[in-house]
Structure 1
Amino acid sequence: MEKIFFADNHAEHNADFVFHQPHGHDCWLLILTKTPAMIQVNGQLKRYNKNHAVLFRPGQPIKYTACAESYINGWIRFNLNPSFFDLCPIEYGMPLHMADYIQCHQLTQLIAHEHAGGNSASSIYLLKALLMILNTNQTHEKRTVEDKLFNLRQEIECNPGFPWTATYMSSLVNLSEGYFHRMYKKMFGSSCIDDVIEMRLALARSLLTTRQMKINEIASQCGYKNGEHFCRQFRSRVGVSPQQYQGL
């Protein structure tokens, strides 16, 4: 049965506010922040700026807290037909920045008003409209992230000898390091560090067969601080030493 249980557009809390449900609710929960907040993602509390929405599925652990002098959010507890989320999938438990945050907050206010007035059908209709807007925001955000990661991978391929680190790469695309790792592997099927190593070794194989260079010079050009590390990694991944590969 589709139903809204509670809806509030502007719930104000003090600086010591903590909401923690280790086993989640028996229904869906949507929160829309109006101030910065600490939100638990994958078991860790992380700070997010205002105007983020988070959808928690039934039974999903929930924790969010204030991280300033006050915390304000809108929130809705509800049940919808599961088929709705097949048509409008939203990543559960992952804060999503609301590009249309004014419209989202206005819709939440209307939902709360209609729910308080006993207008069930109207409030459900408005809730579905809100969730579809969030789904559109999510799709756009993912497309933007995918473009950034594709461009980053091209940059690594063009310059594998650069001292790439996961921290530096995540900062280039303006993502948290954990989210960067997940999205990179989801998109390319391997970790960012594995890609760096494979691209360095591809350059090394090319240099070993096309130029008369010393092993240490090749190692340095491929981004290795010393030849010994380069030789170990080359043998481990390629199956022969650089010297043997050069002689083939």
Structure 2
Amino acid sequence: MFNILRMGCNTAHGNNFSVNRPKGYEWCLLLFVKSPAVFIIEGEAINTPANTLIIFDKNYPHEYKSSGAEYKNDWIHFELNASFFDQYPINLNTPLYISNHLYISDLIQKIANEFYSNNSYKEQTIEYLMRVLFVKTKEMVETNTLQPWRSKVHEELIKLRSEIYSNPQHNWSIAFMASKLHISCGHLQNIYKNTFHISCMSDVIKSRITYAKELLMESDLQVGEISNLCGYENEVHFMRQFKKLTTLTPSEYRRLNSITDK
């Protein structure tokens, strides 16, 4: 279904670099351009910022150049069935700005590592990674609203949320979380809610209740012990928040979901 012909990562060219292929290729070309560039699409010159991705369809003209500085990109020459684009629709022959460029760059590097390896399952791995690449590109294009914070702190925001869910027992506060990202408390609350559609402190509570449900199902610990392990100093407060989110008390939840006696 998916066949890479050749590819490269972090290929650099001088400030006079330019490409003009009037008939394109007989295969598709993916470019992830890590420097400002100029694309000529149907006669129109389009200036693009660093971290722009474009997928040229087969036999489509390629014309692009550096914008006066060093040009750097990742690139993949590939063949695939037309149904692939039906499953993962992305605008072809159109420069697409990628907000989380490190994620996409890392994916392409993983694909290259497989492509140049002799791993037993390299073809399957490459296909799965390419599917992720297409899905995440589509996702970023659809959700990107050109808010300046997306490209600057979005990755750190993801790391923060991962840390919250990995360590729900910590004494998370808005001030502490904001300090980790080196932004103001108000800014943190705005971008957290805009990104995850939940307030940061509501997410902390959700992470603690999620952990509590796991402990109730998988252990024989007393409710008070579980309350402490989830970061609560007050057992009554824990029980109130648990019932608010689950409609059940911790004991009722355990009785219905425990796996320790099954």
* TM-score, structure 2 normalization: 0.52
Deviations 1:143-193 (A, max 9, x none): x59xxxxxxxxxxxxxxxxxxxxxxxxxxxxxxxxxxxxxxxxxxxxxxxx
SS at match of 1:25: coil
Q: 2: distance between equivalents of 1:80 and 1:125?
A: 13
Aligned 8 A contact 1:7 1:111 in 2:
no
Give the % identical residues.
28
- Deviation, 1:22, is 0.7
Match runs of 1:165-176 below 5 Å: none
The residue aligned with 2:134 is 131
Equivalent residue of 1:76, what SS? strand
What does residue range 54-93 of structure 1 map to in structure 2 within 5 Å?
A: 54-93=54-93
Q: 2:3 maps to what in 1?
A: 3
2 CA distance for matches of 1:18 and 1:47? 14
The answer for the alignment partner of 2:104 in structure 1 is 104
- 1:104-141: CA deviations, max 9, x gaps? 00011111111111422212221221111111122224
Secondary structure, counterpart of 1:47 in structure 2: strand
Question: Which residue is equivalent to 2:94?
Answer: 94
Work out whether residues 4 and 124 of structure 1, in 8 Å CA contact, stay in contact via their aligned partners in 2.
no
The one-character-per-residue Cα deviations of 1:6-37 (angstroms, maximum 9, x if unpaired) are 11121000111111111111111110011101
Aligned alpha-carbon RMSD (Å): 1.6
How many angstroms apart in 2 are the aligned matches of 1:113 and 1:19? 26
Q: How many pairs were matched up?
A: 143
Aligned twin of 2:39: 39
CA–CA distance in structure 2, aligned partners of residues 60 and 81 of structure 1: 17
1: CA distance, partners of 2:90 / 2:128: 17
- Matched with 1:140 is 143
Q: Distance in 1 between matches of 2:20 and 2:68?
A: 18
Q: Partner amino acid for 1:139?
A: E
Aligned equivalents of 1:28 and 1:97: distance in 2?
19
- Whichever residue aligns with residue 140 of structure 1, its letter is T
Extract structure 1 runs of 4+ deviating beyond 3 A. none
Partner-residue secondary structure (3-state), 1:74:
strand
The corresponding residue for 1:121 is 124
Secondary structure of the structure 1 residue equivalent to 2:102: helix
Counterpart code for 1:120 = E
Partner of residue 12, structure 2? 12
The structural deviation recorded for 1:75 is 0.5
Contiguous gaps of at least 5 residues in structure 1: 146-248
Aligned position for 1:48 = 48
Residue matched to 1:28: 28
The 2-side partners of 1:114 and 1:44 are apart by: 37
Deviation track 1:173-223 (CA, whole Å, cap 9, x = no partner) reads: xxxxxxxxxxxxxxxxxxxxxxxxxxxxxxxxxxxxxxxxxxxxxxxxxxx
Whole-angstrom CA distance in 1 between matches of 2:140 and 2:103? 12
Q: Which amino acid aligns with 1:95?
A: P
The alpha carbon displacement at 1:103 in A equals: 0.3
Contact 1:54 1:95 in 2 (8 A): yes
- For 1:34, the aligned partner's letter is K
Shift of 1:83: 1.2
